[in-house]
């Protein structure tokens, strides 16, 4: 059986939509994490193939270990609906749930250490792909990314 690497989709989860989450998330308590899948949180975003990049570099600081989370991806054919969606997320504190091809997910951020989203449009001269939206999600937080099996 072939195992594909990388991410196939991601979910942006607003802090306001979290039902339950430990203050510090670990591999052993991630099963206590749950969130509402109504409204915008039921949107699973599928990026342009192989454009979802996530880095979580740990760095020692005077306050202890901090993870520099940086995620980016491209969405083709943006619309007023996607602009409204990302503008809404831009105004919120968020978590990022990145879904892998093997059924696992990685959760970036926490309720007490959320991430921030920004986005911008990019125009091209090429007729095949004249327009796209580039989304960036960032944070410098003490919460390490957590791997778990999606339910």
How does pLDDT run across 55-68, given as a tens digit for each residue?
A: 999 999 998 999 99
Place of tokens 């202890």: 64
Say if residues 113 and 141 touch (Cβ distance below 8 Å): yes
- Does residue 33 surpass a pLDDT of 90? yes
Provide the pLDDT for residue 38.
Answer: 67
Q: CA–CA separation, 22 vs 44, rounded Å?
A: 24
Percent of the chain residues topping a pLDDT of 90:
52
How does pLDDT run across 78-108, given as a tens digit for each residue?
A: 778 888 889 999 999 999 999 888 889 999 9
What is the arithmetic mean of pLDDT over 70-75? 90
- Does residue 76 surpass a pLDDT of 60? yes
Phi-psi category of residue 146: left, alpha or beta, with phi > 0 → left and psi -120 to 50 → alpha: beta
Q: CA–CA separation, 115 vs 129, rounded Å?
A: 29
Q: How many CB atoms lie within 10 A of CB 99?
A: 18
Q: Going by C-beta distance under 8 Å and a sequence separation of 6 or more, which residues neighbour residue 39?
A: 17
Domain ranges of the chain: 7-149
pTM of the model: 0.86
Sheet of 116-123, strands arranged across: 53-61, 64-76, 131-141, 116-123
**Bigger pLDDT: 81 or 115?**
115
Find the range with the poorest average confidence among 6-10, 94-98, 103-107, 119-123.
6-10
């Amino acid at each position: 059986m072939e195992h594909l690497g990388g991410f196939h989709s991601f979910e942006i989860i607003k802090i306001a939509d979290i039902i339950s989450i430990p203050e510090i998330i670990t591999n052993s308590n991630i099963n206590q994490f749950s969130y509402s899948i109504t409204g915008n949180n039921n949107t699973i975003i599928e990026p342009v193939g192989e454009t979802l990049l996530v880095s979580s570099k740990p760095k020692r600081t005077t306050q202890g270990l901090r993870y520099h989370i940086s995620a980016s991806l491209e969405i083709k054919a943006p619309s007023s609906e996607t602009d409204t969606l990302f503008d809404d997320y831009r105004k919120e504190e968020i978590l990022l749930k990145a879904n892998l091809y093997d059924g696992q997910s990685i959760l970036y951020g926490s309720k007490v250490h959320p991430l921030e989203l920004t986005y911008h449009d990019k125009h091209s001269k090429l007729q095949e792909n004249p327009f796209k939206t580039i989304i960036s999600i960032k944070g410098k937080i003490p919460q390490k990314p957590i791997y778990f099996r999606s339910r």
